[in-house]
Structure 1
């Protein structure tokens, strides 16, 4: 892979330092031309944490900070943590552990509060939350939206962005309205696993070529991601760590230099207040 001569950011991937490829995946990303990563903590139960209190999430966040520090050392740029509670936890709590939706909501909000402590200390550039992308009961949906709104409030309070895992949609204006009510600019809310067009908040576009072309045509802010899950049982899922650099190379070959700058310099600065050029070695 040739030198891309630009910051190259994967906006959403996971790293498992204990059970999967961990830093080896980061090396693949770097060798392919990648320079910066936003590393999202894996779902708590994937790291062996069955939380009973908000404090129980701290072990997940601390392990994530450790792997982010290691990743930063092998990149030409750096890596930043995104910390929070996966919205799918509510189904695990309600369906498998006997929580009521309200009890699950309260536990998840407590986990977000702990994540917000790290954000307030400058140790995370975004919080993670959302709502299930599958059918759930009305009570679970309402509780999930309560957690989402609580996270938006914490993002505003700590002055960081919020990354969301939600249903597949091209319209999150409802969430944008909630963000504004909480004092968080909607452009600082990011839908991960987005397609090319999205109303309301900033899309983090999965690196399918057609989605990227759609995002470019909108002339709006967008980010690029793989949602690499670093799972030994699913190697390469969802997309491999080499994908974003390869797509940037393709975009540049197609003459989309301005769009590459928008996705990898201008949008990260506007959304996360991170400077991918100043942090590039």
Structure 2
């Protein structure tokens, strides 16, 4: 059972500012004990933006910040935006729109530069980047890695975290080596949609019981997420917004109190520099 003093953070989900459930999903999350959210902007083309330059991403980021502000009003804690460019955009640019990989790289890096402006101003918490989790040709792969490394460069300048969308793996130390060579510590790199075991980045563990048991037993820093996509065309995709609070209750019932504190207090502080206990206490006053 979750008590009123326990922060419950979903580290990665999406909210649609225009269609589907939006703030209703936040209310569902809060109703079962959820307190904090990291809301990642939806892929730009899902919000009707076909980018040809970095500035074209600005409406995507602005709309995400607006719905995050509305989400915070529903929570006992608060929500934060995570802004960036979905790595799958490179395939849309190259395969569907005829851009060369180098041109697509420039567009995506430009989008990250705009996202970095919001982080620098304090309007967003972290950046989002990564590389395709599916097979691509060498030119697209190289361009994608260049985009991801650009995100590390910008995050190092800003001293912020980067959430990565990337291939399934239990060892991504080569990626955190790139981050560290850019001046970004490995603990500032988060692998979204992770299993319970991962070397290199901090795993943001999909909140399925088997994955969470592995993470809890290991005792290493980890986060919990649903990757809720809030897509009216895919209502059953990934996990629903109530999942993280329900899994926290399950972890507590099974004696994993330390794992809950790890995922919802200690690791958010380590990765993002946020204090989920203080923001929860502030909301109570």
Normalising by structure 2, report the TM-score: 0.97
The CA distance in 1 between the partners of 2:119 and 2:222, in whole Å, is: 23
- Aligned: 1:40 with 2:19: no
2:78 aligns to what? 78
Tell me the C-alpha RMSD between the 2 structures: 0.9
The answer to whether structure 1 residue 56 and structure 2 residue 36 are counterparts is no
Q: C-alpha separation between the residues in 1 aligned to 2:218 and 2:189?
A: 18
Kindly tell me the number of residue pairs found equivalent between the two proteins: 281
Partner of 1:220: 220
Partner of 2:132: 132
Q: Unaligned 5+ residue runs, structure 2?
A: none
* Residue ranges of structure 1 left out of the alignment (5+ in a row): none
Shift of 1:237: 2.2
Is 1:162 paired with 2:171?
A: no
1:135-154 alignment runs, 5 A limit: 135-154=135-154
Does structure 1 conserve the Cα–Cα contact (< 8 Å) formed by 2:33 and 2:245? yes
Q: Secondary structure at the match of 1:279?
A: helix
Going from structure 1 to structure 2, the CA distance change for 1:74 and 1:236 (only over 3 Å counts) comes to farther
1:3 Cα offset (Å): 4.0
Q: What SS does the aligned partner of 1:200 have? A: coil
What does 1:132-211 align with in structure 2 at a 5 Å threshold? 132-211=132-211
Structure 1 residue 217, shift from structure 2 partner: 1.8
Report how far residue 5 of structure 1 moved: 3.7
Is 1:267 aligned to 2:267, yes or no?
yes
Give the deviation of 1:10 after TM superposition. 0.2
Contact kept? 1:230, 1:236, Cα under 8 Å:
no
Are the counterparts in 1 of residues 5 and 277 from structure 2 also a CA contact under 8 Å? Answer: no
Using the TM superposition, give the Cα deviation of residue 266 of structure 1 relative to its aligned residue in structure 2, in angstroms.
Answer: 0.3
Q: Is the 8 A contact 1:202 1:222 kept in 2?
A: yes
Instruction: Name the SS of the counterpart of 1:180 in structure 2.
Output: helix
